[in-house]
Amino acid sequence: MPPYTVAELAERVAGSVEGDAERTLTGVAPIAEAGPAHLSFIQSDQYRRLLDAARPGAVLAPPGMEITRPDVTVIRVPDPQVAFGRLVELFKPPPPPPVGIAESASIGRGARLGADVTIGPYAQIRDGARIGDGCHIGAYTVVGESARIGRGCRIAHGCSVLHDVQLGDRVVLHPGVRVGTDGFGYAEGPSGAEKVPQVGGCVIGDDVEIGANSTIDRGSLGDTVVGDRTKIDNLVHIGHNVEVGSDCMIVAQVGIAGSVKIGDGAALAGQVGVAGHLEIGPGARIGAQAGVIGDVPPGAVYSGYPARPHREALRASAALFRLPRLVQKLQALERAMNARANGPQASDDDGKKRGTGS
């Protein structure tokens, strides 16, 4: 990895340089750990305070943020975190995937592989599957019958892309992802729960990324759909016939029950639970650990359980935290009222008891 000058890095992210544009950098690091040959970034005042004790060679910073350190070169960009992410791979490129088809891989009848496809050891490409140009299929991954995988996809080891699933172009599946598993469909029969056949499909759009050990069920009749550019974190479950729009963000341990519709650009924070057959509008934001049991309007910010507008949830939480003190005050008030109502009689009774005892 060659070193880069600040000017070269700034050109790659369309930034402007303040300071020594010819300074040479050899790596990237968090602001608190950066040294004179490192590039880092400052997104907010919290990071700027860390700069006082750090010694980075250069930092990416937003316009207007004051930086008074003359020894630090600054690259001004609108979004330092995004720009930093684009520059990281210059210094830390991902390891290249192996090339070719492993001898232990299994290719079924009628399967079609595009150009420059890599199939890892013990992977199974089953009958009728189609894999687009430039895809990488990791070791022990299963691509089911008649599945369709677009161009430039990266499917890590140990994944399952089951029968009739469709992946768009440039989809990334991290280890252990399961796409197209049976939905949780049962009906109450005379002898208990009877399974309802899950015969729908699962369609994943272009540029979707799905984190490790996440599961996306196929539809019971129609399709489960994930829109273009949506990003899904680790350990997320998406139930049958869910429709997730484009450009959504779904964070770790979210559970979405069947037939939910999530609009474009919505974001669900960690451990959100969504009950079935609901709608979350475009651009909505759901706070961590919220329990969604009703529809969420477009653009709304909800949190808490049951999920409600965020300000309302904060007021409810604040009131709940005051409850122990309020209970203590009520108990003290009750004792005072009882003493006032029964004071003379209570005093005579106490005197008799003391006299008897002597």
Q: Are strands 192-195 and 142-143 parallel, antiparallel or unpaired?
A: unpaired
Q: Does 56 sit behind a cis peptide bond, omega within 30 degrees of 0 on the bond before it?
A: no
Instruction: Single out the catalytic residue among 136, 157, 240, 310.
Output: 240
Q: Is 240 a catalytic residue?
A: yes
Helices (H), the chain: 6-12, 45-51, 80-91, 310-357
Nearest Cα residue to 266 out of 300, 312, 234 = 300
Give the integer Cα–Cα distance in Å for 347 and 64.
74
Joined tokens for residue 68: 């008074």
Distances (CA, A) of 90 to 4, 15, 97, 115, 229: 9, 16, 17, 27, 23
- DSSP assignment of 185-213 equals -EEEETTEEEEPP---EEEE-TT-EE-TT
Based on its alpha-carbon atoms, the radius of gyration of the chain, rounded to whole angstroms, reads: 30
Question: Which residues are annotated as catalytic?
Answer: 240
